Amino acid sequence: MLGGSPVTEPVRYSVEDGIALIAVDNPPVNALSQAVRAGLDAAIARFAEDGEARIAVIYGVGRTFIAGADIREFGKPMAEPFLPDVINRIEASEKPVVAALHGTALGGGLEVALGCHYRVILASGRVGLPEVTLGILPGAGGTQRLPRLSGAEAALDLITSGRQVGAQEADWLNIVDYVAEGEDARAAGLEFARRLLVEECRARRTGEIDPGTKDAELFTSWRETVSRRARGQLSPVVAIDAIEAAYDLPLADGLVRERSLFTELMGSDQRAGLIHAFFAERAVAKIPEAGTATPRDLARIGIIGGGTMGSGIAVAALAGGLTVTLIERDADSAERARSLVEKLLNDGVRRGKMSEARRDALLADAFAAVTDYEALASADLVIEAVFEDMAVKKEVFARLDAVCRPGAILATNTSYLDVDEIAASTSRPADVIGFHFFSPAHVMRLLEVVVGDKTSADVVVTGFALAKKLKKIAVRAGVCDGFIGNRLLNAYRKAADYMVEDGASPYEIDAALVAFGFPMGPFAVSDLAGLDIAWAGRKRRAATRDPRERVVGVADRLCERGWFGQKTGRGYYLYEEGARRGKPDPEVEAIIAAERTEKGIVPRSFDSEEILRRYMAAMINEAAKIVEEGIALRPLDVDVTMLSGYGFPRWRGGPMHYADKVGLDTILADLRSFAEEDPYFWTPARLLVDLAERGGTFADLNKSA
């Protein structure tokens, strides 16, 4: 090896057999910090001067090629050298530059590669431009160079969705030149460079490719589709303007246009919300138990109950490489559970998520549906997913306690019930934990890990390890009625019911929340989930309800008629034969009017702003109580729960991030004014009052926790 002196610490330059090797080494993901940008710039300048080096290879050290700009620098003044300039200088090199990709070449990382003259990728590598998911767009030439390589349609698809593609697809889309076997990007880059030298290949600039004429209709139809899909999110729609510039303008002007749109989005609240969501999703794994305990073994799991939830959990566990034994009460039910699991796996095959061979292997070797609890004797962890009833659950836990080996973890899948009470019914409360899965469990990303009073630290970290295997985001929650998510849901749902009784229609409320960015409003969600489930919960709680609580009877009136939502064709909405979207139902409005009359309520109108203020104030106030009580570790845990389990618009960052943006003093003033009508429901949480009065924010608590 010759010329091995470092240019800067995170970027090293060396020469081997006439090939300059530019190594980017900035753990954990080689993000393009100022030091990396400066290092790349210096390395390219050195390569230009280096008489010995005839070609250069840029590669990443460690687990990945460059995974993008350094997101931690966002929101701060940007420091030179700027990435677009560095990439332009790479592209302008007279001698060829090769990018050798492995791991995930994302965002600015892929843009560096697009500025190189050739790209080789390991077969296991992936590429993508995920900027829109962070509220921005590719700002270092990606919107100009990608369409020149892959064509407009693929560029529109990849940039507006942010989706990653594997090496093979990247090759089909002409994003890379060669897919290499092996696990060493440096070696693959060297070998490819040697071939280029033999073939006397020259520098070949993506920016000089003629993108061809614009298909205006294509852009119009993508604008329509993406605007609809984005539900208020700006970046995917603005990204289309940038891609269009690749067809309307010469490269240099297209890059200027891209930069100006990028800078505009960089300054937006949406960018701040999405970056908050990105870091919050990683921060939720930082729990007090993480440093003190190691996870227990987790290879064989048991599931009790093969209904919708149990079979969904089974499929997620199988896909995560676990062996699953599912217990049902009789042979017919076990057979039904097996068919359900098979059906869900088949869906995965149909959607290209799994090969037929893998499905067959999983069903043959990793899955059993049986009736005998003894089959769980060697399980590492058992998840009970039976009916949401304390007596039934306790009975299951008694049987598990008897058959499971010492050290096996016993988990209950519950959305409301007291995990401590279940734990206390066993001889091993330290091994008991709650999991709140969301339906469909093989699809939904959230898992609330409910930690009981006696749950031991290694059981908690095993819960988080399970979530990782199942590709879920785990949020640590304490024991209370509804944990984090459903306790909040209960509060904002009540605020919605109160507005209905006071004069708003369910349809106005749903419309206001869809306009805010939720995929569905709360009444449409109730119809989808089934009104009978909440009805059962209300009946269960009726005996212990505080007499000061305001109770709205509309949902009970619907349930008494057998209108349980979509599955019965009627709920808050009317569903025509087989329809998934309902229509407003005048009979429901008449039922609501009758309820108002009976209570002597004179209806008034609510505009969408008031609807939103009340709904959000109820959610934020309950969330503040949840943080104050330690049910959620930090405000960010509430944000992640609402973002990944309850459809809160990601670009708004979650309710606590949103509250900080609106201003806690404004939220507090709203709560105080609503509390004049109903102090029981609206009295502000102590934490919220404290923070608002001293000018603090929920974000402060995230930092200090």
Cβ at position 241, least distance to ligand 3H9 in Å? 15
Q: Which is nearer to ligand 3H9, 259 or 567 (CB)?
A: 259
Identify the sign of the CA torsion 441, 447, 450, 455.
positive
Name the one range near ligand 3H9 by CB under 6 A: 138-146, 232-240, 496-504, 694-702: 138-146
Name the one range near ligand 3H9 by CB under 6 A: 103-111, 446-454, 656-664, 676-684: 103-111
Site for ligand 3H9 contains 111 (CB under 6 A):
yes
Element (DSSP H or E) covering residue 481: none
Residues 112, 140, 234, 409: which binds ligand 3H9 (CB under 6 A)?
140
Q: Which is nearer to ligand 3H9, 68 or 478 (CB)?
A: 68
Cβ at position 131, least distance to ligand 3H9 in Å? 5
Residues 44, 83, 90, 132: which binds ligand 3H9 (CB under 6 A)?
83
Site for ligand 3H9 contains 158 (CB under 6 A):
no
Cβ at position 268, least distance to ligand 3H9 in Å? 14
- C-alpha 269/C-alpha 661 separation (Å) is 9
Site for ligand 3H9 contains 635 (CB under 6 A):
no
Give the strands of the sheet with 104-106, arranged side by side.
Answer: 104-106, 126-128, 165-166
Name the one range near ligand 3H9 by CB under 6 A: 136-144, 360-368, 414-422, 614-622: 136-144
Question: Catalytic annotation on 16?
Answer: no
Site for ligand 3H9 contains 28 (CB under 6 A):
yes
Burial of 181 (0-12, 13-18, 19+ CB in 10 A): exposed
In 3D space, the residue among 573, 468, 489, 474 whose CA is nearest the CA of residue 524 turns out to be: 573
Identify the sign of the CA torsion 431, 437, 440, 446.
negative
Q: Which is nearer to ligand 3H9, 88 or 333 (CB)?
A: 88
Q: Which is nearer to ligand 3H9, 106 or 504 (CB)?
A: 106
Q: Which is nearer to ligand 3H9, 137 or 400 (CB)?
A: 137
Cβ at position 411, least distance to ligand 3H9 in Å? 24
Burial of 4 (0-12, 13-18, 19+ CB in 10 A): exposed
Cβ at position 108, least distance to ligand 3H9 in Å? 3
Answer for the pair 499, 509: CB distance below 8 angstroms, yes or no.
yes
Q: Which is nearer to ligand 3H9, 68 or 254 (CB)?
A: 68
Catalytic entry in 91, 111, 328, 508: 111
Q: Which is nearer to ligand 3H9, 14 or 235 (CB)?
A: 235
Q: Hey, which residues does 122 pair with through a beta bridge?
A: 180
Q: Hey, which residues does 25 pair with through a beta bridge?
A: none
Helix axis angle for 635-645 and 269-283, nearest 10°, is 100
Provide long-range contacts, Cβ within 8 A and 24+ apart, for 253-258: 254/143, 254/144, 255/84, 255/88, 255/141, 255/144, 258/137, 258/138, 258/139, 258/141, 258/142, 258/143, 258/144
Cβ at position 31, least distance to ligand 3H9 in Å? 4
In 3D space, the residue among 341, 390, 408 whose CA is nearest the CA of residue 370 turns out to be: 341
Measured CA to CA in angstroms, residue 9 lies from 26, 50, 89, 186, 429 at distances of 9, 20, 21, 18, 51
Cβ at position 137, least distance to ligand 3H9 in Å? 7
Residues 14, 104, 462, 702: which binds ligand 3H9 (CB under 6 A)?
104
Count of residues that interact with ligand 3H9, criterion CB under 6 A = 23
Name the one range near ligand 3H9 by CB under 6 A: 68-76, 166-174, 420-428, 526-534: 68-76
Q: What is the DSSP letter of 455?
A: -
> Count of alpha carbons within 13 Å of 411, Cβ hemisphere only?
30
Site for ligand 3H9 contains 348 (CB under 6 A):
no
Element (DSSP H or E) covering residue 277: helix 269-283
Name the one range near ligand 3H9 by CB under 6 A: 66-74, 90-98, 514-522, 537-545: 66-74
Name the one range near ligand 3H9 by CB under 6 A: 100-108, 301-309, 377-385, 560-568: 100-108
Residues 35, 48, 61, 71: which binds ligand 3H9 (CB under 6 A)?
71
- Phi/psi for 629 (5° steps) reads -80, -5
Measured CA to CA in angstroms, residue 97 lies from 44, 175, 205 at distances of 9, 15, 10
Site for ligand 3H9 contains 146 (CB under 6 A):
no
Residues 10, 115, 139, 521: which binds ligand 3H9 (CB under 6 A)?
139
Cβ at position 122, least distance to ligand 3H9 in Å? 15
Residues 195, 229, 282, 604: which binds ligand 3H9 (CB under 6 A)?
282
Burial of 447 (0-12, 13-18, 19+ CB in 10 A): buried
Answer for the pair 90, 20: CB distance below 8 angstroms, yes or no.
no
81 preceded by a cis bond (ω within 30 of 0): yes
Residues 50, 70, 177, 244: which binds ligand 3H9 (CB under 6 A)?
70
Question: Catalytic annotation on 131?
Answer: yes
Q: Which residue has the tokens 């039976």?
A: 386
In this structure, how many other beta carbons lie within 10 angstroms of the beta carbon of residue 248? 12
| Binding map of ligand 3H9 across residues 197-236, x = CB under 6 A, - = no contact | ----------------------------------------
Cβ at position 69, least distance to ligand 3H9 in Å? 3
DSSP percent split of the chain into helix, strand, coil, nearest 5: 55, 15, 35
Residues 4, 72, 215, 361: which binds ligand 3H9 (CB under 6 A)?
72
DSSP conformation letters of 216-264:
HHHHHHHHHHHHHHHTT--HHHHHHHHHHHHHHS-HHHHHHHHHHHHHH
Question: ∠ CA(523), CA(524), CA(530), 5° rounding?
Answer: 85
Residues 19, 24, 105, 106: which binds ligand 3H9 (CB under 6 A)?
106
Site for ligand 3H9 contains 67 (CB under 6 A):
yes
Answer for the pair 501, 595: CB distance below 8 angstroms, yes or no.
yes
Site for ligand 3H9 contains 130 (CB under 6 A):
yes
- C-alpha 175/C-alpha 160 separation (Å) is 17
Catalytic entry in 131, 244, 258, 508: 131
In 3D space, the residue among 179, 184, 50, 67 whose CA is nearest the CA of residue 123 turns out to be: 179
Cβ at position 637, least distance to ligand 3H9 in Å? 15
Cβ at position 138, least distance to ligand 3H9 in Å? 4
Q: Which residues are catalytic?
A: 111, 131
Footprint of ligand 3H9 (CB under 6 A): 28-29, 31, 67-72, 83, 104, 106-108, 111, 130-131, 134, 138-140, 142, 282
